[in-house]
Structure 1
Amino acid sequence: MWNQEQDSELLKILSKLRQTFHTYPELSGQEKQTRETIRKFLQELGIETQTFNEQYGLCGLIKGEQSGPVIALRADMDALPITEENEVAYKSKHQGVMHACGHDGHMAILMGAAKMLMQNRHKLAGTVKLIFQPAEEASPLGGAKAMIEAGVLEGVDAIFGLHLWPEVPSGALGIRTGGFMAASDRFKINVIGRSAHAAQPHKGIDAITMSADIIQGLNNIVSRQIDPVDVATISIGEISGGERYNVIAQEVILGGTIRTLNETTRQEIPKRIEAVLKGIAKPQGGDYIFDYQQGYPALANCKKATEVVVQAGKKVIGENNVYAEIKPVLGAEDFANYLAEKSGAFFFLGCAKAGEPTPILHNSHFDIDENVLLIGSKLLYQVVFEGVEAYKIVGGEVG
């Protein structure tokens, strides 16, 4: 695609961009300087940009010299409230904030693809929208809906995105058709009893023992009420309650998350949780408050769009580095909201450093092999051209 010297020069640019984002990370809804860095870079390339008053997203537009479909590429922008423990030159200078999920790399990769597309715009039969999305980590709302409401998907025929993923071999591509990432919902349960002296437990209603029964009941939903081949999890991540060691607890608060790949199961689980709560709290004389919030929907890749990514991968990194049927994961992604509106696909790009332990995402030691930045840019570049062909306009309709 490019010669070795050009590749080396672009990788230097991408590394510098990624390290700048990493050094100065910004939390969800605060990506002001991040957006400005992206805006300046795109405008220097001659790319038309659009910003929004309500949030810090940005959309760039590249028009090919020939007409054709509109392909969108998306990168997320926000960092996490994590204190970085890596001792590197580009360590975060914002205390308690870190790019621990690879979004710094995602932005650099898309900026690299933008540069390549502009240099080869004469070959492009169509239009490319570059979507830089804020607040991906801000579940359950997230930033995708705000970008969609701002009109970034208008006229788009297909949308694609990637995520740096340490559990895929470095530089390799992982994808699957259909259900790929989970819906992510959250809940809070206030278990309400009545306090009493611990020496007279019969005069109180113990919120702690009720909570223990409830937790077991929630576990039984997945293990005994959901089809074993239908993937679902209910996890309690927070428990707080009680006031003193010798007082029967009056209230316990449980917080957790539900992950599902099947929408029917997703809608069924809160009903079953409610039934467990009624069946345990009420007979023991207690009560409860159940708050359930739907977050991101399950992410399902379209068949045509998945094939676009697979073909692009084969051309850029070779067939042996394309894993086209990897297992779905129960992590959630705001990109699912785009796929609820448009054809498209999301894929993983392996990023672990060779010979080193692989820090997981959202970890204070997370880092990447920066060589994959160039691979990612080339993949997105090729996805555009494969996508233009797959979604080309035939007889007035998208093919």
Structure 2
Amino acid sequence: MTDIADLIAPLVELRHDIHAYPELGFAEHRTARVIADTLRAAGLEVHEGIGGTGVVGVLRAGASGRTIGLRADMDALPIHEQTGLPYASRHEGCFHGCGHDGHMAMLLGAAQALAADPSGLDGTVHFIFQPAEEGQGGARAMIEDGLFERFPCDRVYALHNWPSLPAGTIATRPGAIMGAADKFRITLRGRGGHAAVPHDTKDSILAAASLVQQLNTIIARNAPASANAVLSVTEIHAGHAHNVIPGEAMVGGTVRTFDPAVQDRIEQRIRQIVSGIEAGFEVQAELAYDRYYPATINDAQAAQDALAVAATVAHAELAAEPAATSEDFSFMLQVRPGAYIWLGQGKGENPPPLHNPHYDFNDSVLETGLRLHIALARHWLAPQE
């Protein structure tokens, strides 16, 4: 039997090693080898190459057919780290700035602990290490590669560190917890010409300026007042000289929603506005609209169970509102009941947020996350009479 406290120091060392050698989505080859080797050393059945570089460890105990999936994400971000830590990234422009190194360490620790002491488990635990969470849909790739057919999960849970919560606090909520992430790119093609004779042009910049103004009316005038929704224009590209009206301009941005009906309405209005700009400014308009992440919607019972289980591990609270950021665990929750859980890691005043070059995972919460994974597995796979 392994004492959980004895696992923490080696897990911190492992986390620092993964942090020092980060890898981007679908390129997590070294990371996947470290995970697979650690799982095998713990005595688990290991499957590699799922959805690209994904890894699944399997622990079977007891005779029941009940199953649970516990997921951690693997990839890093294309950011230059500025922490100055002794274990800072050795890979220029690649950085574990979202804490996935900590997520992997916590789940590996839980796998080690449960493999060493499977007593009280009656069923199968699937430890899911997912590639390419950062905008590349690694969860969808694993699902399309037969994840849940090969490794059935009656429930699936994911844990993510949350700097805005005090260290060790656990929070989740039924229903929406993270937003859907849509992205749009609108290309406007007019007729360029000399800035001194604008009447001979079809001004793409003027069309883009009107487009930006109109897009920013959608949330205020077309989404219900009760709806949580965000539309942000984040890109404008046009022109190269002070005396030339360009023939082309591009406007891009993102939409975040929690309700599919609101999501549909916003996309509809964007398309209508683009058509109006096309007619009103005599330009050609091309809209590329991509719904790349759905909203992360927790199963109500799974979330309530998670809160009850979390309260046996640490301080647990109901999250008051969802976050507008997105998470591709949403794809897993579309096909299996489960919940996404936040683990507070904030320390001091104004801790660096996720995706900040000064961010680092807080090692002091490793044990809390490890114990929560274990408790979720033991709760769902508790022997039944």
Tell me whether the two structures share a fold, i.e. TM-score over 0.5.
Answer: yes
CA distance 1:54–1:332, shift in 2 (3 Å): closer
Deviation string, structure 1 residues 332-362 (Cα, Å, up to 9, x no partner): 101000000011001100112x325311111
SS in 2 for 1:166: strand
Question: What is the CA distance between 1:87 and its match in structure 2?
Answer: 0.8
Alignment of 1:1-399 (within 5 A): 6-52=3-49, 55-139=52-136, 142-154=137-149, 155-317=152-314, 321-352=315-346, 354-389=347-382
Question: What is the CA distance between 1:393 and its match in structure 2?
Answer: 7.6
Aligned residues of 1:100 and 1:363 also touching (Cα < 8 A): yes
Q: Distance in 1 between matches of 2:190 and 2:343?
A: 49
CA distance 1:381–1:178, shift in 2 (3 Å): same
Aligned residues of 1:109 and 1:373 also touching (Cα < 8 A): yes
Amino acid at match of 2:343: L
Question: What is the CA distance between 1:76 and its match in structure 2?
Answer: 0.5
Q: Distance in 2 between matches of 1:200 and 1:131?
A: 62
Aligned residues: 383
Q: Distance in 2 between matches of 1:312 and 1:66?
A: 23
Aligned residues of 1:305 and 1:387 also touching (Cα < 8 A): no
Note the residue ranges of structure 1 that are not aligned, 5 or more in a row: 395-399
Aligned residues of 2:50 and 2:145 also touching (Cα < 8 A): no
SS in 1 for 2:147: coil
Question: What is the CA distance between 1:64 and its match in structure 2?
Answer: 1.1
Aligned residues of 1:160 and 1:345 also touching (Cα < 8 A): yes
CA distance 1:349–1:54, shift in 2 (3 Å): closer
Q: Distance in 2 between matches of 1:138 and 1:328?
A: 19
Q: Distance in 2 between matches of 1:347 and 1:166?
A: 13
Aligned residues of 1:57 and 1:147 also touching (Cα < 8 A): yes
CA distance 1:270–1:367, shift in 2 (3 Å): same
Q: Distance in 2 between matches of 1:386 and 1:40?
A: 27
Q: Distance in 2 between matches of 1:241 and 1:203?
A: 18
Runs (4 or more) in structure 1 with deviation over 6 Å come to none
Q: Distance in 2 between matches of 1:123 and 1:294?
A: 42
What is the root-mean-square deviation of aligned Cα atoms in Å? 1.6
Aligned residues of 1:241 and 1:249 also touching (Cα < 8 A): yes
Aligned residues of 1:174 and 1:326 also touching (Cα < 8 A): no
Q: Distance in 2 between matches of 1:53 and 1:227?
A: 41
Question: What is the CA distance between 1:138 and its match in structure 2?
Answer: 3.1
Deviates more, 1:209-218 or 1:279-288: 279-288
Aligned residues of 1:11 and 1:371 also touching (Cα < 8 A): no
Amino acid at match of 2:143: I
Deviates more, 1:88-97 or 1:118-127: 118-127
Deviation string, structure 1 residues 119-156 (Cα, Å, up to 9, x no partner): 221221111001000011133xx111121122222321
| Equivalent in the alignment of 1:397 | none
SS in 2 for 1:123: coil
Amino acid at match of 1:335: F
Question: What is the CA distance between 1:234 and its match in structure 2?
Answer: 1.2
Note the residue ranges of structure 2 that are not aligned, 5 or more in a row: none
SS in 2 for 1:67: coil
Question: What is the CA distance between 1:227 and its match in structure 2?
Answer: 0.5
Aligned residues of 1:131 and 1:152 also touching (Cα < 8 A): no
Question: What is the CA distance between 1:230 and its match in structure 2?
Answer: 0.8
Amino acid at match of 2:19: H
CA distance 1:393–1:222, shift in 2 (3 Å): farther
Amino acid at match of 2:365: V
CA distance 1:43–1:315, shift in 2 (3 Å): same
Aligned residues of 1:69 and 1:393 also touching (Cα < 8 A): no
CA distance 1:219–1:53, shift in 2 (3 Å): closer
